[in-house]
């Protein structure tokens, strides 16, 4: 395995500066943010990907020796209005990944909040089979993170239909693979190790994010969380500052045969506010995970 991180947490820095810092810290891989150029979460110009951009990004990885583990574009592929443009950008990410020798593109299934879950799954079949075929024709896997994305639903229900093992099994029938993030399982009362073990062969990428449970708050809100704008009953942390037992998680992945990248996804509110604080948070994550990942 190799240890990396998702670059979206450092939007102020150019990719070359992110890569050089990553090497100095000891990281071995980067999951590169590939949102459209109008978005600050953008370290590769996927929507303007030409020979010069391919050479720029390829040179950064060649000179630093880092692995490009994935191009990240996590948006709602089933959005009732913007879904077609999201699908088109996923294809652009696939084109860039293929040109750079990157094995995966990460995105969300998403959801149309005006439809039932069953109707969404039927619609997703028509959306994702062509996307998966396009990706496979280019030698790339589409990987789906198991994030709830409750903010995409007006009542706070899951807005990304990939949040449970039941839905993972449905995804796999379409040829989608899993970008496994254990933190979101804890937020559903699911044991992240027990949930992952039967599906390790379908995990093509791993995101490492921790979660801290806030004492007493679940008794007020329950698993679905608040509707009032108050803080919920948990918050995300960098690995090492939450309750996830990373030795157990990494050990289960290793026993199942996973040998890819473990990519830190930094969404810790305690370690944001400046580039330096974000980098400090990434440093905590590195020190927590390095000996486990390198085993």
Q: Which residues of the chain have pLDDT under 70?
A: 228-230
* Per-residue model confidence as pLDDT tens digits over 131-190: 999 999 999 999 999 999 988 988 888 999 999 999 999 999 999 999 999 999 998 889
Sign of the Cα torsion 72, 77, 83, 88 reads positive
pTM: 0.96
CB atoms within 10 A of CB 117: 12
* Per-residue model confidence as pLDDT tens digits over 37-46: 999 889 999 9
**Secondary structure element (H or E) that encloses residue 108, with its range:** strand 104-108
* 184 Cβ contact partners less than 8 Å away, ≥ 6 residues apart: 145, 146, 147, 148, 163
- Residues facing residue 212 across a β-bridge: 235
* 212 Cβ contact partners less than 8 Å away, ≥ 6 residues apart: 234, 235, 236, 237, 241, 242, 243
Q: What pLDDT was estimated at residue 228?
A: 64
Looking at the chain, list the stretches that DSSP marks H as alpha helix, in order from N- to C-terminal side.
Answer: 15-25, 51-64, 83-100, 117-137, 165-173, 182-186, 192-196, 218-221, 246-255, 275-294
- Residues facing residue 42 across a β-bridge: 34
Contact assessment for residue 156 and residue 229, using Cβ atoms and an 8 Å cutoff: no
How far is 64 from 16, CA to CA, in rounded Å? 9
**Secondary structure element (H or E) that encloses residue 213, with its range:** strand 210-213
Q: What angle do CA 120, 34, 286 make, to 5 degrees?
A: 105
Q: What pLDDT was estimated at residue 221?
A: 80
Q: What pLDDT was estimated at residue 155?
A: 83
The structural architecture, per CATH, of the domain 2-294 is Alpha-Beta Barrel (3.20)
* 250 Cβ contact partners less than 8 Å away, ≥ 6 residues apart: 1, 262, 289, 292, 293, 295
**Residue of 135, 151, 167, 164 lying closest to 71 (CA atoms):** 135
- Residues facing residue 19 across a β-bridge: none
What's phi and psi for 201, nearest 5 deg? -65, -20
């Amino acid at each position: 395995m190799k240890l990396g991180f998702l670059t979206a947490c450092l939007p102020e820095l150019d990719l070359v500066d992110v890569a050089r810092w990553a090497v100095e810290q000891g990281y071995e891989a980067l999951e590169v943010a590939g949102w459209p150029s109008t978005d600050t979460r953008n370290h590769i110009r996927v929507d303007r990907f030409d020979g010069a951009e391919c050479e720029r990004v390829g040179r950064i990885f060649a000179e630093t020796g880092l692995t490009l583990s994935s191009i990240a574009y996590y948006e709602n592929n089933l959005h009732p209005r913007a879904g077609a443009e999201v699908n088109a950008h996923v294809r652009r990410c696939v084109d860039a990944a293929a040109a750079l020798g990157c094995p995966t593109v990460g995105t969300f299934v998403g959801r149309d909040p005006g439809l039932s879950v069953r109707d969404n799954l039927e619609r997703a079949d028509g959306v994702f089979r062509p996307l998966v075929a396009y990706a496979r024709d280019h030698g790339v896997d589409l990987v789906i993170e198991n994030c709830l994305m409750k903010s995409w639903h007006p009542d706070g229900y899951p807005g990304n239909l990939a949040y449970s093992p039941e839905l993972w099994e449905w995804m796999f029938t379409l040829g989608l693979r899993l970008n496994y993030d254990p933190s979101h399982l804890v937020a559903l009362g699911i044991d992240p190790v027990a949930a992952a073990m039967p599906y390790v062969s379908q995990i093509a990428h791993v995101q490492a994010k921790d979660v801290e449970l806030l004492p007493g708050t679940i008794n007020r809100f329950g698993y679905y969380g608040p509707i009032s704008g108050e803080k919920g009953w948990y918050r995300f942390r960098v690995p090492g500052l939450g309750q996830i037992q990373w030795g157990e998680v990494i050990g289960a992945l290793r026993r199942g045969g996973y040998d890819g990248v473990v990519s830190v996804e930094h969404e810790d509110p305690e370690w944001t506010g400046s580039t330096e604080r974000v980098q400090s948070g990434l440093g905590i994550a590195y020190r927590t995970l390095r000996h486990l990942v390198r085993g």
